[in-house]
Amino acid sequence: MIDTIRQLFEKNFHNYNESIEKISYDKDNNKSLCYWKDSFYNFDKITSSLLKGKNPTASVDMLAFGEKQVVFVEFKAGKNVKKDRKQLQLKILESLLLFEMIVSMHLNPSSKELKNLEKIYIIVYDSQKIPFSKNRVKNLENSIDYNHYRFGVDKYKGIFLSEAKALSCGDDFKSVLRKYGIFVQS
């Protein structure tokens, strides 16, 4: 199923491929979170093009395909973690619905096939602007993977998502992408 969906996006949305540097650009701060040249789908632009003239949706920034996974990526540069948490949770839910809508418009998958797709959500944040507080780290020390627990990204893990992580741009992000078979050079 993943190969068929990958082909669907290659055929219909190839013109929405952009570098991570462009996709991660933050207008408010006038900078990119990741300065990589690797190209992936700008999911915001895909959804905007499909929903022309309708109310804007809260979709994630980037979409990538792994060996068996669909990877949704949101780049986050702001500081308001409490406000952003709800927005980031809404973005993944709306993105999942929009993704399934796109797939269903072009293919005829069963609901079981869509449900069984391995879906990953990664939030890439600016560690300079959103550092861990000492109290938060202390409370999370017993968690094995406390660096990846931010913004409530684990809320839908096991329900709608196979995996959810929050990472800063760099080697951790590259490592996670490579883990899913997504090649990155930069």
Tell me whether residue 185 is in a domain. no
User: Is the residue at 53 inside a domain?
Assistant: yes
186 within some domain: no
pTM: 0.86
Query: pLDDT tens across 25-72, in order?
Result: 988 888 898 999 999 999 999 999 988 867 777 899 999 999 999 999
The answer to whether residue 90 is domain-embedded is yes
- Please write the tens of the pLDDT for every residue from 80-125: 555 677 888 889 999 999 999 999 999 988 888 888 999 999 999 8
Packing angle of the helix pair 81-106, 43-50 (nearest 10 deg): 60
Has residue 9 been placed in a domain? yes
- pLDDT at position 7 is 96
Asked if residue 184 belongs to a domain, the reply is no
pLDDT at 134 over 60: no
Residue 71 included in any domain: yes
The pLDDT of residue 136 is 47
pLDDT at 140: 43
How many folded domains does the chain comprise?
Answer: 1
Q: 99-127: buried (b, 16+ CB within 10 Å) or exposed (e) per residue? A: bbebbeeeeebeeeebeebebbbbbbbbe
DSSP 91-142: HHHHHHHHHHHHHHHHS---HHHHHHSEEEEEEEE-TTTSPPPHHHHHHHTT
* Full strand arrangement of the beta sheet holding 163-168: 17-19, 39-42, 62-65, 69-76, 118-125, 163-168
Q: What angle do CA 157, 161, 163 make, to 5 degrees?
A: 65
In a domain, 42, yes or no: yes
